[in-house]
Amino acid sequence: MKFLHALTQTAALLSLGLSVEGKFNRARNEACKPKHPFHPLPPSPPRKRTCHVPSNGDGTDDAHHVLSTLRKCNNGGKIVFDEDKEYTIGTAMDMTFLRHVDLEILGTIKFSNDTDYWQENSFRHGFQNATTFFQLGGVDVNVYGGGTLDGNGQVWYDLFHEEALTLRPILVGIIGLKGGTIGPLKLRYSPQWYQLVANSTDVLFDGIDISGYSSSENEAKNTDGWDTYRSSNIVIQNSVVNNGDDCVSFKPNSTDIIVQNMHCNGSHGISVGSLGQYKGEVDIVKNILVYNISMYNASDMARIKVWPGVASAMSEDLQGGGGLGAVSNITYDKMYIDNVDWAIEVTQCYGQKNQTLCNQFPSNLTISDVHIKNMWGTTSGKRDPNVGTIVCSSPDVCKDIHVSNIDVTSPSGTDDYICTNVDESLLDVNCSSG
């Protein structure tokens, strides 16, 4: 029922420009009808009792109120964070014990700015130094209400500028959730990624409003909207993201995922990866549909990023290469871009600036069965005369990349693509030598 209800919200979100302000749909002469999950989402029975979370109301830690109320109203209840209250969270909370429960967030939940405490006590998840303020998981958990989660990010943006190895917590940790819906919610000022979805299945995200920038000269970095990891049958839809990194990123072992009806601004695109970072580990990303997207003021729209077979360094806190695995059955369909550097970026040389070295040590992770189609708009001109780049480290590990019906130009009117080690007969674009 919740998924069917979520589909009815599409029209309202389209008015925000998610179908590209009308002209995108008129150009195709068809409506962008939302797609259904790869597998049906499980039902969520009605809740039978309601509990309200108390607040100290003075900025001191309310975590004990939250946990005690969750235990009191677990297994069939609804927990309400009242509209007129602000809840301060200064303690890492493990909420993976939840069963058949709703969290209705009407007020504001704000995390404390004690960076020393959080670096020592936030939950660590073993991938790219990811940590979270809390872990929310269990069976059949719904979180909604339109309230706000505030990560108090400014102190973290300034601290990260001083020390790049700072462990910055992710605002929302959906960890080991089996069935549930998240949204509508407002997410603000996350120290790092806004949401990590790990070891979870059958989860719908609907109506998430993400925004939060630095008020100092120190940028809010790595503020991905979503990162999925070891998760399957996830739907992300009807949401607005204003951030400074990937709008959505499919990390290792993300399968059967739909991202649709999204407005992304300021991001690094909707990305498969990065993958193949850890030598000896196997990363699988397959069955991904990205549909009806508006992308503004970004570095990329459709992006696939894979590490090469040689050790490489993207930055001081992001290094890797040599991992195994495969990317397959990836579709990007119906996209509008405005002021985006790369309309399409496919690379098996992520983190490696030496193209010769990348070709000498091709990626151990294969890319195949990729379809990128129906894209309109204008790039930023930053890469002029090129508007896209499709670069594989070897044709032996990269095949069946199809690109069609692309009407994207730079501000100067050019529409060239850098194409390396790919079958250009499958690319309905103007390939150049770069």
Over residues 26-45, the pLDDT tens digits come to: 444 456 789 999 999 999 99
> What pLDDT is recorded for position 316?
86
pLDDT at 18: 45
Burial 212-239 (b: 16+ CB within 10 A, else e): bebeeeeebbbbbbbbbbbbbbbbbbbb
Please say if the pLDDT value at position 6 is more than 50.
Answer: no
pLDDT at 410: 98
Query: Of residues 316 and 78, which shows the higher confidence score?
Result: 78
Higher pLDDT, 337 or 19: 337
126 pLDDT more than 90? no
Q: Among 97-101, 139-143, 347-351, 386-390, whose mean pLDDT is lowest?
A: 347-351
Q: 8-17, 223-232, 307-316: lowest mean pLDDT where?
A: 8-17
Specify the pLDDT at position 317.
Answer: 86
Instruction: Please tell me the predicted confidence (pLDDT) of residue 8.
Output: 38
**Homologous superfamily, domain 262-434:** Single-stranded right-handed beta-helix, Pectin lyase-like (2.160.20.10)
Q: Which residue in the list 125, 268, 371, 402 is annotated as catalytic?
A: 268
pLDDT of residue 13: 45
pLDDT tens digits for range 374-430: 999 999 999 999 999 999 999 999 999 999 999 999 999 999 999 999 999 999 999
Q: Which residues pair with 52 in a beta bridge?
A: 80
Across the range 62-85, mean pLDDT stands at: 98
Average pLDDT along the chain: 93
Model pTM score: 0.93
**The pLDDT of residue 301 is above 80:** yes
pLDDT for position 45? 96
Evaluate if residue 274 carries a pLDDT over 60: yes
125 is catalytic: no
Tell me: the pLDDT tens digits for 95-120? 999 999 999 999 999 999 999 999 99
Cα–Cα distances (Å) from 61 to 53, 55, 112, 410, in that order, read: 13, 9, 8, 51
pLDDT in tens, 187-232: 999 999 999 999 999 999 999 999 999 999 999 999 999 999 999 9
Going by C-alpha positions, the residue among 400, 433, 405, 402 that lies closest to residue 419 is: 433
pLDDT at res. 30: 59
Residues paired with 142 in a beta bridge: 102, 181
Q: Is the pLDDT of residue 433 over 80?
A: no
